[in-house]
Amino acid sequence: MKQSNIQFDNTGKLRHFLTIEDLPKQTLIDILDTAENFSTVGTQRAKKVPLLRGKTIVNLFFEASTRTRTTFELAAKRLSADVLNININTSSTSKGESLLDMLRNFEAMHSDMFIVRHNQSGAAHFIAEHVAPHISVINAGDGSHAHPTQGMLDMFTIRRHKKEFHNLRVAIIGDIMHSRVARSQIHALNRLGVPEVRVVGPHTLIPRDANALGVHVFHDLREGLKDVDVIIMLRLQRERMQGAMLPSEAEYFSQYGLTEEKIRIAKPDAIVMHPGPINRGVEIESSVADGPQSVILEQVTNGIAVRMAIMSIALGRKQES
């Protein structure tokens, strides 16, 4: 594996966090281990560590997402950084300023990190290619390409419950085709050594070249769930319904919705995950989402620790130099 990719600086340290695809296993392990250290901060009386005091972190959100923005903002504040929230719809790009000129401006203000959310695949990568050397870029979701911090918080959650990756069977269920979350999960699971990753969904929502991703494709949920240790449900974007891609919500639920009955097909100690926000009664039965095997809210909690880990690794790099 080449470490000369854009995510590393010229001393081999992680500078940007754009996609899990090009990262070596050890980098992922380092992130998970660092996140373990941060996971206790949320339960301290004062949820604050001074690691990034005086750093300037800019939330550059080209696509609205209160939930994701909030988790990054909280992670940054708990690291004592200063945070700027920039919603690009309302910003000076409406004055016709180019994206690169806008970036140059934030760079010139001595920003340290851009958290980028964009509805176009590759946006965070494009920005990382063009920023000044003192800036780190974190991908907070780009089109249908990647959502790597979500992928890592999922891995953290799995490791907490299953300890090891090398003996797991994991099923990802739903709209694989359009899901940046699924893509990041698959890359992470493969890299961490999970021997069997399955994707489950209707023909219209599984990419034709899915096998090239290193996964096994299932179109029948019952078959796909058989003996798995981890069940990852994806959010069904309601706008997919309006097209010809899907039958009704009811029919989708009957075929691919996770129910108490179907969950018994998996291993008895299987955990149920979902990136949120959940559509109750569409992709998952309420009693399963709230049931004893669900770790959905743990994922949210772990998301803060994992984002603190990634931010502090990328910016700590400079502190040592």
Specify the residue, 48 or 264, whose C-beta has the smaller distance to its own copies: 48
Specify the residue, 5 or 85, whose C-beta has the smaller distance to its own copies: 85
Whole-number minimum distance, CB 205 to its own copies, in Å? 19
Query: How many other C-beta atoms are found inside a 10 Å radius of the C-beta of residue 291?
Result: 14
Return d(Cα 170, Cα 225) in angstroms, integer. Answer: 9
Specify the residue, 22 or 249, whose C-beta has the smaller distance to its own copies: 249
Whole-number minimum distance, CB 241 to its own copies, in Å? 12
Whole-number minimum distance, CB 236 to its own copies, in Å? 11
Return d(Cα 79, Cα 51) in angstroms, integer. Answer: 6
Whole-number minimum distance, CB 232 to its own copies, in Å? 18
Specify the residue, 132 or 264, whose C-beta has the smaller distance to its own copies: 132
Whole-number minimum distance, CB 61 to its own copies, in Å? 11
Specify the residue, 145 or 307, whose C-beta has the smaller distance to its own copies: 307
Return d(Cα 320, Cα 169) in angstroms, integer. Answer: 39
Specify the residue, 92 or 167, whose C-beta has the smaller distance to its own copies: 92
Q: What is the helix, strand, coil percentage profile of the chain, to 5?
A: 45, 15, 40
Return d(Cα 314, Cα 195) in angstroms, integer. Answer: 30
Whole-number minimum distance, CB 91 to its own copies, in Å? 4
E strands, the chain, are: 56-61, 82-87, 113-118, 136-142, 169-173, 196-200, 216-218, 230-233, 271-273
Pure H helices in 214-282: 221-225, 238-242, 249-256, 260-263
| Spatial CB neighbours of 207, under 8 Å, sequence gap ≥ 6 | 176, 177, 213
The residues that touch its own copies, with contacts defined as CB under 8 A, are: 42-48, 53-56, 64-67, 70-71, 73-74, 77-78, 82, 84, 86, 90-92, 95-98, 101-102, 104-110, 238, 276-280, 297-298, 300-301, 303-304, 319
